[in-house]
Amino acid sequence: MRICRVDYYQVKLPFKKAVQTSYGKLTAKYADILVLVNEDGQIGIGELTALPHPDYVEEYLLGERQILQHYLLPWLLAKEWVTLDAFCLEMTKIRGHLMAKAAIEMALFDLAAKLAEKSVAAYLPNAQPSLAVGISLGIEPDLAKLMDQVDQAIAQGYQRIKLKIKPGYDYQALAQIRQAYPEVCLMADANSAYQSQAASLKALDELSLAMIEQPLAVDDFVAHAKLQAQLKTPICLDENVRSLADLQTIVALGSAQVINLKLPRVGGLLAAKKMLNFCQQHDLKVWMGGMYETGVGRAFHLHFAAQTCFDFPTDLASFDHYFVEDIVTKPMQLHAGKISVPTGLGIGVVLDKQKVNKYCYAKQSFKSKK
């Protein structure tokens, strides 16, 4: 596999409504789109989906962009690579920066599958043609407006509701949703907003939540283990989960009963497959989250999330929950509570050149010297 050129687009997709979490407000999705071109003109598409600031995890868009442009892309363009796995092994020379690695791995998988005349689904066992999805709702102080959003989501067929919470915004909002919808799969996502407020979190036990996601500090496995011992509600870890070693720590300490698996955060599909196998072997429930991806990253995630081993509906909502327009020709939409996995070769999407140009604010091309 020889890559001769990489076209690199920096895009900004405005959100229809600002996303409010415990660590800040997002008004647009910034993403970098990688288009790898081989010597025969065939392309592979990937997405760097890191967030703009290092407040979710320490990796953020500008930093991961530098790793890609100064290290990973020059390595990729320097020579012919026998296999995708060979280049992925080369990337291990860089410590961390899993989101940059995941972006380039995505594009390589797309290209490799196209060259083999396969879908990415061919690399994954027990993949379904469509999958149930849930929706993530941000912090909305006006509970009447929140319930309007919940009502709309339920009417559209979403099969799980996730609500962002923080100290002072938790029990009342969740209780109102639970009262209106006693049977819905309901969970809370704290994004590490709590310190040691075990009492306020324990009050959530009576709401029959599917899980409380990442209540305490990132990397604090011990505190989460102590909290889980006090709660009936399962704790789900998100930001804490970067590697197989993290899963081993979670199991050893009892830090959580569920994990949220995100391909960018763990370094891509190959790492995620190993982690998913570990979860199955150790009775650790797992579901798949998202990072407000464009249609490129969303397609790759849908292929992975379509495996039958996941325990809860994925967090990959219809594109029009977040955006007015997407940058692929056939944006993924909700139908009867499910989203279809893109068909066709590779990840199954085609860039809409007009939309890419509309939302692109910077473009570069990197070429092989040979």
Do 105 and 13 lie in one domain? The reply is: yes
Do 217 and 275 lie in one domain? The reply is: yes
Tens digit of each residue's pLDDT (9 = 90 or more) over 208-250: 999 999 999 988 999 999 999 999 999 999 999 999 999 999 9
Q: Going by C-beta distance under 8 Å and a sequence separation of 6 or more, which residues neighbour residue 69? A: 8, 364, 366
Tell me the torsion sign for CA atoms 89, 295, 323, 9. Answer: positive
Question: Can 363 be counted among the known catalytic residues?
Answer: no
Question: Can 370 be counted among the known catalytic residues?
Answer: no
Residue 174 sits in a domain whose CATH number is: 3.20.20.120
Do 330 and 206 lie in one domain? The reply is: yes
Residues 272, 299: Cα–Cα separation, whole Å: 16
Do 302 and 360 lie in one domain? The reply is: no
Are 161 and 186 in contact by the 8 Å Cβ rule? The answer is yes
Tens digit of each residue's pLDDT (9 = 90 or more) over 12-66: 999 988 877 766 788 999 999 999 999 999 999 999 999 999 988 899 999 999 9
DSSP 335: E
Counting every residue written for the chain, the total comes to 370
Q: Please report whether residue 330 resides in a domain.
A: yes
Do 101 and 175 lie in one domain? The reply is: no
The parent domain of residue 278 ranges over 122-340
Q: Going by C-beta distance under 8 Å and a sequence separation of 6 or more, which residues neighbour residue 88? A: 101, 105, 108, 268, 270
- As given in the structure block, the two tokens for residue 198 are 């075990």
**Which one of the listed residues 262, 273, 367, 369 is annotated catalytic?**
262
* Threshold 0.85, pTM exceeds: yes
Do 85 and 126 lie in one domain? The reply is: no
Do 354 and 209 lie in one domain? The reply is: no
Do 171 and 108 lie in one domain? The reply is: no
**Which one of the listed residues 101, 164, 166, 355 is annotated catalytic?**
164
Do 17 and 69 lie in one domain? The reply is: yes
**In Å, how far from its chain's centre is CA 22?**
18
Residues 329, 36: Cα–Cα separation, whole Å: 19
Task: Say if strands 24-38 and 43-48 run parallel, antiparallel, or are unpaired.
Answer: antiparallel
Q: Please report whether residue 273 resides in a domain.
A: yes
* Predicted local confidence at residue 324, as pLDDT: 92
* Predicted local confidence at residue 197, as pLDDT: 73
Q: Please report whether residue 176 resides in a domain.
A: yes
Residue 18 sits in a domain whose CATH number is: 3.30.390.10
* Predicted local confidence at residue 23, as pLDDT: 67
* Predicted local confidence at residue 216, as pLDDT: 94
Q: Please report whether residue 345 resides in a domain.
A: no
Do 113 and 126 lie in one domain? The reply is: no
Computed over its alpha carbons, how large is the radius of gyration of the chain? 20
Do 257 and 324 lie in one domain? The reply is: yes
Backbone φ and ψ for 179, nearest 5 degrees, come out as -65, -40
Do 140 and 166 lie in one domain? The reply is: yes
* Predicted local confidence at residue 60, as pLDDT: 95
Residues of the chain scoring pLDDT < 70: 22-23, 370
